[in-house]
Amino acid sequence: MFLTACSPATRPPSAGAITSTSTSTVEPEPLTPDEEALIASVEDAIDSLLGSQAVEITMVFSTPEESTATAFVDNWAMALESHQETIASGGGGVITDRIVLNDTMYVRIFQASEVEPDWTVLDIDREFQEELVGEAYTAFGTLGASLERIIELARNVSVSIEDRGTQMDGDLEANVVQFIFEAEHIRLYFAANQLELVGPFEAHGQTVYEFWIEDHVRRLGGAGTQFHDGEAIEDVLTRVDYSVATEGSVQPPG
């Protein structure tokens, strides 16, 4: 398991009342001083990570589709280079390579057994470029639009916040904080604030984010129902690890 807590399905529902159906807002319970402090600690760790010049990212997707990925993000240049390989049950996974640099996206998608194809080159605007870079930190948007969006949810949607203390996983030792939401509360918040083009149907289950923190965020784990481009996807289990890079840059394809 990527997460230290018990399965989201076994947890009691978080506080907060839905004021109506469809697109109404959720009235969250006021945060306690301890909860405010935990959110602030996570936010500071996110700011430290995003404030570094460059970050190396590794991702493991167990569900909804088994795959692995790596990414290199240059925060100052708002640039990204990523490589993702889907693990097919019968072999021969699909590889997706992407480079985002200077309002241009280079992309190629091919079978692992194939010869690498030429890159497709697309002009993109600055807003979309920033969106792609932000989603690299959340497993290409599998765990939401950005790390900052998770903090926004914690401050505006009913949430259960747990300090899991110091945890170890191999060489990683860090303080762990969990945010646990009712997925339907998130859907209603997105709909009411037009942040995501969510559907009109109720989202089921819980949405769990787990932050491993040293001086910056070292790991983000996500489980339960997650929202990817507004779509509620159930039974997600994804892990993202971050390491501040001391060298390297994003370059166009050679």
The crossing angle, in degrees rounded to 10, of helices 147-156 and 183-193 is: 100
pLDDT of residue 22: 46
Q: Which residue has the tokens 């989202």?
A: 203
Say yes or no to pLDDT of 91 above 80.
Answer: no
* Domains parsed from the chain with CATH numbers: 32-244 (2.50.20.20)
Say yes or no to pLDDT of 13 above 70.
Answer: no
* Residue type for position 252: P
Give the 3-state secondary structure of residue 132.
helix
Say yes or no to pLDDT of 24 above 60.
Answer: no
pLDDT of residue 124: 97
Residue 211, class by beta-carbon neighbours within 10 Å (0-12 exposed, 13-18 middle, 19+ buried)? buried
Which range, of 59-63, 185-189, 203-207, averages the lowest pLDDT? Answer: 59-63
pLDDT of residue 25: 65
| Residue among 123, 114, 192, 125 nearest 153 (CA) | 192
The rounded distance, in Å, linking the Cα atoms of 59 and 138 is 9
* β partners of residue 97: 83, 108
- Whole-number average pLDDT of the chain: 89
Q: How confident is the model at residue 199 (pLDDT cuts 50, 70, 90)?
A: confident
Beta strands in the chain (DSSP E): 17-18, 26-27, 54-63, 67-74, 79-86, 94-101, 104-111, 120-123, 160-169, 172-182, 206-213, 217-228, 231-244
Task: Give the tens place of pLDDT for each residue, 93-106.
Answer: 899 999 999 999 99
Q: How confident is the model at residue 71 (pLDDT cuts 50, 70, 90)?
A: very high
Q: How confident is the model at residue 207 (pLDDT cuts 50, 70, 90)?
A: very high
Q: How confident is the model at residue 90 (pLDDT cuts 50, 70, 90)?
A: low
Task: Give the predicted TM-score (pTM) of the model.
Answer: 0.88
HEC letters along 171-211: CEEEEEEEEEEEHHHHHHHHHHHCCCCCCCCCCCCEEEEEE
Q: How confident is the model at residue 26 (pLDDT cuts 50, 70, 90)?
A: low
The rounded distance, in Å, linking the Cα atoms of 153 and 105 is 30
pLDDT of residue 38: 98
Distances in Å between the alpha carbon of 212 and those of 85, 164, 226?
25, 10, 19
pLDDT of residue 19: 37
The rounded distance, in Å, linking the Cα atoms of 157 and 194 is 15
pLDDT of residue 89: 65
pLDDT of residue 14: 41
pLDDT of residue 230: 86
Say yes or no to pLDDT of 75 above 70.
Answer: yes
Q: Which residue has the tokens 């004021």?
A: 19
Q: Extract the tokens encoding 111.
A: 């079978």
